[in-house]
Structure 1
Amino acid sequence: MFAADLIGRDCTAARAGMRLVGDMTELLTLEKKLYLATCIDLATREVIGWAVADHHRAEFPVTALRMAAGRGGLEDGCTGTSVPTPLHSPHSRR
């Protein structure tokens, strides 16, 4: 199952803090497999939140989103979505 595309594949934003996109990447290290979750501001193209873990459970990308929100600068009504992959769950949207 894929997560809904909440921004309609429009990867533009008029100003910072309005639209975010997230992704999760599998990293193979010499010791074990890790996962990197990122939260990117579409106006600045900067990674504004990230998290690393040894699992890809549904709550994991929320950690990156919380980091982004904790830095401040997100607009009221900020919209975000994730790159659609089977790793993401639509039930993790908050």
Structure 2
Amino acid sequence: MVEHLPPDGATARAENGHAWQQGDYAAADSRDLLSLLLTAFVNANRDPKKPAMPYPKPSWRPGDPVPDEAKNDADKARAKAAYEHIVAQVKGS
């Protein structure tokens, strides 16, 4: 019964954690490749006196941490370490 549900339906999104399909991944790969090729072209045809343009980072994909989440995770880890330090001082360990 579940096998005939749509791939972008609520059940599939809950299972996968996202609604990206193969076409979305292909479009993101194409965008990344195009930006790499553009950067390589600009670097190959630049003035030798100017610095090379840095290569771009790959675009976000499902499963990659969102930049704000990564910062929040680091803040949470620091807060947890501070809390555990205070608890250890109170307990006298």
Q: Please state which structure has a larger fraction of its residues in strand.
A: 1
TM-score normalised by L of structure 2: 0.23
Q: Please state which structure has a larger fraction of its residues in helix.
A: 2
Whose radius of gyration is greater, 1 or 2? Answer: 2
TM-score normalised by L of structure 1: 0.23
